[in-house]
Structure 1
Amino acid sequence: MLNALISVLVPMAAGAQLILTLVLAKGEICPGQRGRIHRLLPVLLVLWLLVATQHLYVLLVVALTGYFYSQVKTGKTRQEGPLKILYLANVLAGITLLHDVLTAPNWIAAVMMVLSCLLLGTMAAHLLLTVARTRLQAFHRLLPVAGILAAMLLTLCIVPFTSGMASSQLQDTLQLILVCFSLLVTAVIIWSWHLLTTKSVDRIQLAISCLVLLTSVSGFHQLYFS
């Protein structure tokens, strides 16, 4: 289970870093918001360090992201910093994800990795942007909707996966499938709760959803890669 958890951190970290880079490069954010986003970059460093326990070359992503973090201010700032370094880190992160996709045991597992990048990446980015108190209100709607679509597609992957199973094998995996599916639905409901109730998004809400979602996707990873 630990190996599965670390494996799904690859699409999570890659997706979140790409979205944060997009916000820093193209987002209409004030100096205070930019500094607060810079302040949260160590979270990505921790995720990549965990991934590096399985893929040592990911330390290059850690080094580049760490260098970018060392060159920017974490208070109010209009300075973008050396974004080209962050772009290079994103390229290496993308290559790492592509490697996992191409080495997947079957096409369903490969599709699952791509969808995990959309699902977990948007979840992590939404949590970090909320903690950073950004005023990009569109992201509070777009990111959960993108996550819901990814969750639906991820669920559909179960159909072709189970269709080729023998009845005895299906019985052995049915409980895991039901647990993962239940956790996935629960996580999505918690994530989009502010849309259903028209209330402000809450960081605790997103943190709980992120933990539940990680557990669910780790279970699916364990199922598809077994």
Structure 2
Amino acid sequence: MLNAFIAVLLPMTAGAQLILTLVLTKGEICPGQRGRIHRILPLLLVLWLLVASQHLYTLLNVALIGYFYSQVKTGKTRQEGPLKILYLANGVAGLTMLDAILTAPNWVAAVMLILSCLLLGAIAAHWLLTIARTRLQAFHRLLPIAGILAAMLLTLCIVPLTANMDPMQLQNMLHAILLSFSLLVTAVIIWSWHLLTAKSADKIQLGISCLVLLTSLTGFHQLYF
């Protein structure tokens, strides 16, 4: 269970890092927002440290992001910092994901890893951006929509996965499948609740959704590994 949980942290952390990089380089953010986004980067370091227990070379990402963080300001700033270091960290994250995809036991598992990167990366980035109090309304709308689409596609991947199971194995795993699916639906509803109620996204709401999604994807991970 613990190994499966750490395994799904990889696509979540890689996806979140790529989205945060996009926000820092392409997003229309004021100096105050930039500094607050810089301030949450140590949370990525913690996640990469956990991932490193299975992928030791991701310690390089810890060093790169740590160096980038040490070179930027966490108050109001227009300075972007050494973005080449951040791009290099993204390259390490991308190669780690590629290795996980290429070594997946079957094509369904590979596709689910890609979708997990989109789904978990989007919710984690959305949560971190909310903690940083960003006012990027487009991201607050687009990230949940991207998550809903990824969740739908991920659900479709379960069909060929279960079709290849023998009846006895399917019977034993049916409860876990239904539980993971229920958690997935619940997490997506919580995540998109601010869209349904026309309110601002709340960090507690997104934090709960992120934890529920992690639990759901951990359950699904155990089906194909």
Q: TM-score, normalised by structure 1?
A: 0.99
How far residue 108 of structure 1 moved from its aligned partner, in angstroms, is 0.7
Name 2:83's counterpart in structure 1. 83
1:209-224 matches, within 5 Å, as 209-224=209-224
Q: Distance in 2 between matches of 1:81 and 1:199?
A: 34
Deviation of 1:62 after TM superposition, in Å, equals 0.7
Matches within 5 A, 1:90-101: 90-101=90-101
> Per-residue deviation at 1:168?
1.1
- 1:25-61 CA distance string (max 9 Å, x none): 1111000000000000000000000011111111111
Query: Which residue of structure 2 aligns with residue 194 of structure 1?
Result: 194
State the superposition RMSD in angstroms.
0.6
Partners of 1:132 and 1:152 lie apart in 2 by: 29
The residue aligned with 2:11 is 11
Percent sequence identity is 80
1:146 Cα deviation from its structure 2 partner: 0.2
How many Å apart are 1:199 and its aligned residue? 1.2
Match of 1:119 in 2: 119
- Please list the CA deviations of residues 101-151 of structure 1 after superposition, one character each: whole Å capped at 9, or x if unmatched: 000011111111000000000000000001111110011110000000000
* Counterpart-to-counterpart distance in 2, 1:26 and 1:195: 24
The offset of 1:223, in angstroms, is 1.0
Q: TM-score, length-normalised on structure 2?
A: 0.99
Q: Which amino acid aligns with 1:182?
A: S
Q: Distance in 2 between matches of 1:166 and 1:5?
A: 25
* Post-superposition offset of 1:3: 0.4
Match of 2:223, as an amino acid?
Answer: L
- For residues 40 and 150 of structure 1, what CA distance do their matches in structure 2 show? 25
Counterpart for residue 34 of structure 2: 34
For structure 2, the 5+ residue unaligned runs are none
Residue type at the aligned position of 1:4:
A
**Uncovered stretches (5+) of structure 1, i.e. residues with no partner:** none
Q: What is the aligned partner in structure 2 of residue 71 from structure 1?
A: 71
Q: Which amino acid aligns with 1:35?
A: G
Distance in 1 between the 2:15 and 2:221 partners? Answer: 17
SS in 2 for 1:32: helix
Cα distance in 1 between the residues matched to 2:87 and 2:53: 23
Deviates more, 1:137-146 or 1:165-174: 165-174
1:207 aligns with 2:202: no
